[in-house]
Amino acid sequence: MSENNKADVLLGLQWGDEGKGKIVDVLTPHYKMVARFQGGPNAGHTLVFEGKKYILHTIPSGIFHKGCVNLVGNGVVLDPFIINKELDQLNIPLDVLQESLFVCGKAHLILPSHRLLDAAFEKKKGNFKIGSTLKGIGPAYTDKVARTGLRLTDTASESFEDKYNALKQEHLRLAEGLDFDIDELRLDGLTFHDYEKAWFFGLERLKALPRVQSEIFVNEALDKGARVLAEGAQGTLLDIDFGSYPYVTSSNTITAGACVGLGLAPGRIGEVFGVFKAYCTRVGSGPFMTEIRGEGADVLRDLGQEYGSTTGRPRRCGWLDLPALKYAVMINGVTRLIMTKADVLCSMKTLKVCVAYEINGEEKNISPLTTDSDSLNPVYKEIAGWNCTLDNVETFEQLPQPLLDYISMIEDFVNVPVDIISTGADRKQILIRKGAGILKRLSLS
Ligand code: GDP
Ligand code: IMO
Ligand code: MG
């Protein structure tokens, strides 16, 4: 028994798309279990290896490693239609899946009518729309909290179809009240009716996956000494409580979310790996203080291929926001930082970094997430770029000096070490610092 064995958490520190999927894939060989704890198909986690690219929405990013147990926890919301599509993409034989992918029966289902409501609410909001991925996330979590939702475990009940139809009718009534015309709706290119048919087909496949109670499954694995990595979706600044509300997602994307989304006691959390981009992006509406307007953003978007993995929408681009990063480190109790996409800034001669905020003419060292002030202006420091390719850099220590200085500046600001740098989308493009704490944690030093 290893009662002191703890689960590590990996999550995003900005507005999502920090490269979490890639980093989980890189770390998976050192873990027995990878577990998703919140969010649903609004997530798009990209993995690139052997010249192929895969985008995962619900299935944990450990799925491509033989012997890794992947768990979809109770805190995740499941759309059987999308899971079915993901399983098709993976093309893993059922007998292998039976040993590598487990789903918690307590996880809530996203009904087609949740997606209908997502579209109806967004349309009604007009200019104030959230910019949702329209995957039904908000409405599904709303039903969960209202205690009217359907869980995967409910599908075993004889009355499931009655319950499904009753909830659907409720949703249809709501959509009608919002003047939303169901005939104008297309869900992944399908009419509501066709989507619903495919949804029920997917449900049979989802029901065939091994079902567990995530809290028992994870805690027993830890007791037996297994290494567990909890994989976050979205990012800290999209957290329902601590993000830029109401322009957020509908779950807790932070470390505490791993506790409730898997059934882990706070004392069972070990290291917290915070992933961030060397700059910032955001997809959807809402405040973005360090956003670059105009052509500058187009340059960064093209260099970084900043288009949504789930919706294909262009991502808004901007400079690194250190006060916001420090806030995310605090909320999550981050112990190790992982920086991605430094390669994207390679061709820039100078960079800007936000180091403080000016409020009513006064410079303050606070996060933009902690003030209601309207007159909030980022204070930038301009620094030299590295202005060279990272393609041939083989070790962390060989990184160009301006990039090492950039890393030191971040570490000094947030007081947490940067242990890993990702220099490209491929699994192999990764540099771990010599002597980094993460190496010890993974028993690599
Ligand atoms: P996630 O949602 O946090 O998993 O991130 P996404 O997959 O949505 O977006 C990250 C994008 O950047 C994907 O296209 C990745 O393949 C890519 N990516 C990840 N790390 C790096 C990196 O270090 N450099 C570059 N150029 N691309 C990266
Ligand atoms: P990954 O896991 C980036 C954003 C949406 C929108 C807001 C609410 O790939 O990092 P929702 O569909 O949840 O109601 O949308 O949150 N959003 C994401 N942005 N990456 C994601 O996930 C996101 N998931 C949701 O664009 O602004
Ligand atoms: Mg993504």
CATH number of the domain enclosing 265: 3.90.170.10
Kindly state whether residues 372 and 326 are assigned to the same domain.
Answer: yes
Helices (H), 355-433: 401-414
Q: Are 152 and 106 in contact (CB under 8 A)?
A: yes
Query: Per-residue pLDDT for 2 more than 90?
Result: no
- The verdict on residue 191 lying in a domain is yes
Q: Which of 149, 136, 35 shows the shortest CA–CA distance to 82?
A: 136
Using pLDDT thresholds of 50, 70 and 90, give the confidence band for residue 212.
very high
Residue 201 CA to ligand 2 center (angstroms) comes to 26
- Non-local (6+) Cβ contacts of 79 within 8 A are 40, 41, 58, 109, 110, 115, 135, 136, 199, 202
* Site of tokens 């290494």: 227
- CATH number of the domain to which 191 belongs: 1.10.300.10
Using pLDDT thresholds of 50, 70 and 90, give the confidence band for residue 118.
very high
Q: Residues lining ligand 2, judged by CB closer than 6 Å?
A: 12, 15-17, 42-45, 130-133, 135, 137-138, 233-235, 238, 249, 283-284, 309
- The verdict on residue 303 lying in a domain is yes
Average of per-residue pLDDT across 86-112: 94
- What pLDDT sits at residue 375? 84
Query: Per-residue pLDDT for 6 more than 90?
Result: yes
- The verdict on residue 95 lying in a domain is no
Q: State the total domains in the chain.
A: 2
Kindly state whether residues 255 and 153 are assigned to the same domain.
Answer: no
Kindly state whether residues 25 and 127 are assigned to the same domain.
Answer: no
Q: Ligand 2: which of 249, 275, 310, 315 to mutate, judged by most atoms within 8 Å of the beta carbon?
A: 249
State the pairing for strand pair 376-384/350-359: antiparallel
Give the end of a domain, one of 163, 187, 207: 207
Q: Which of 228, 223, 224, 238 shows the shortest CA–CA distance to 262?
A: 228
Residue 215 CA to ligand 3 center (angstroms) comes to 26
Kindly state whether residues 117 and 49 are assigned to the same domain.
Answer: no
Q: For ligand 1, atom 2, which residue shows the shortest CA distance?
A: 17
Active site residue 17: yes
Kindly state whether residues 264 and 402 are assigned to the same domain.
Answer: yes
Kindly state whether residues 262 and 380 are assigned to the same domain.
Answer: yes
14 Cβ inside 6 Å of ligand 1? no
Give the end of a domain, one of 207, 232, 260: 207
Q: For ligand 1, atom 13, which residue shows the shortest CA distance?
A: 46
What would the pLDDT profile of 24-57 be if each residue is shown by its tens digit? 999 999 999 999 999 999 999 999 999 999 999 9
Query: Per-residue pLDDT for 362 more than 70?
Result: yes
Question: What integer best gives the mean pLDDT of the chain?
Answer: 96
- How far apart (Å, rounded) are the C-alpha atoms in residues 28 and 66? 10
Average of per-residue pLDDT across 366-388: 91
Residue 43 CA to ligand 3 center (angstroms) comes to 5
Average of per-residue pLDDT across 190-219: 97
Give the chain's count of helices (H) and strands (E): 13, 20
Q: Looking at per-residue confidence, does 220 or 93 come out higher?
A: 220
Q: How far is CA 419 from CA 219, 257, 416, in A?
A: 28, 24, 9
What would the pLDDT profile of 279-303 be if each residue is shown by its tens digit? 999 999 999 999 999 888 999 999 9
Ligand 1 atom nearest 43 alpha carbon = 2
Q: How far is CA 136 from CA 81, 186, 237, 340, 352, in A?
A: 12, 13, 20, 29, 37
Active site residue 108: no
Amino acid type, 405: D
- What pLDDT sits at residue 371? 86
Residue 80 CA to ligand 3 center (angstroms) comes to 20
- How far apart (Å, rounded) are the C-alpha atoms in residues 384 and 49? 32
Q: Which two tokens stand for residue 97?
A: 């899946």
Query: Per-residue pLDDT for 90 more than 60?
Result: yes
- How far apart (Å, rounded) are the C-alpha atoms in residues 303 and 298? 9
Q: Which DSSP symbol is given to 272?
A: E
Ligand 2 atom nearest 12 alpha carbon = 10
Shortest-distance ligand to the CA of residue 342: 1
Kindly state whether residues 263 and 303 are assigned to the same domain.
Answer: yes
Query: Per-residue pLDDT for 430 more than 80?
Result: yes
Q: Crossing angle of helices 214-223/255-262, nearest 10°? A: 110
Kindly state whether residues 156 and 224 are assigned to the same domain.
Answer: no
List, as ranges, residues with CB under 5 A of the ion ligand 3. Answer: 17, 44, 309
What would the pLDDT profile of 408-417 be if each residue is shown by its tens digit? 999 999 999 9
Kindly state whether residues 174 and 264 are assigned to the same domain.
Answer: no
Q: How far is CA 239 from CA 58, 197, 251, 277, 373, in A?
A: 18, 33, 6, 18, 20
Residue 319 CB burial class (10 angstroms; 0-12, 13-18, ≥19): buried
Kindly state whether residues 171 and 248 are assigned to the same domain.
Answer: no
Query: Per-residue pLDDT for 127 more than 80?
Result: yes
Q: For ligand 1, atom 17, which residue shows the shortest CA distance?
A: 425
For residue 314, what are the domain limits? 3-74+213-442
- What pLDDT sits at residue 81? 98
Using pLDDT thresholds of 50, 70 and 90, give the confidence band for residue 373.
confident
Using pLDDT thresholds of 50, 70 and 90, give the confidence band for residue 1.
low
- The verdict on residue 50 lying in a domain is yes
- The verdict on residue 98 lying in a domain is no
Kindly state whether residues 250 and 319 are assigned to the same domain.
Answer: yes
Average of per-residue pLDDT across 351-377: 91
Where residue 150 falls (left for φ over 0; alpha for ψ -120 to 50; beta otherwise) is: beta
60 Cβ inside 6 Å of ligand 1? no
Q: Which two tokens stand for residue 348?
A: 């820039």
- The verdict on residue 92 lying in a domain is no
Q: Which two tokens stand for residue 315?
A: 């991502």
Query: Per-residue pLDDT for 385 more than 70?
Result: yes
Q: Ligand 1: which of 309, 399, 407 to mutate, judged by most atoms within 8 Å of the beta carbon?
A: 309
Q: Are 64 and 27 in contact (CB under 8 A)?
A: no
Residue 218 CA to ligand 3 center (angstroms) comes to 25
Q: Which two tokens stand for residue 275?
A: 């992933």
- The verdict on residue 270 lying in a domain is yes
State the pairing for strand pair 280-282/316-318: antiparallel
Residue 426 CB burial class (10 angstroms; 0-12, 13-18, ≥19): middle
Give the end of a domain, one of 207, 232, 247: 207
Kindly state whether residues 119 and 148 are assigned to the same domain.
Answer: yes
Shortest-distance ligand to the CA of residue 129: 2
Shortest-distance ligand to the CA of residue 307: 1
Q: Are 165 and 105 in contact (CB under 8 A)?
A: no
Which of 8, 25, 45, 239 is the catalytic position? 45
Shortest-distance ligand to the CA of residue 238: 2
Task: Please give the backbone phi and psi of residue 357, each rounded to the nearest 5 degrees, phi first.
Answer: -125, 140
Contacts by 390-395 with C-beta closer than 8 Å and gap 24+? 390/342, 390/343, 390/346, 390/423, 390/424, 391/343, 391/423, 391/424, 393/423, 393/431, 394/431, 395/431, 395/434
Q: Ligand 1: which of 10, 13, 22, 341 to mutate, judged by most atoms within 8 Å of the beta carbon?
A: 22
- The verdict on residue 101 lying in a domain is no
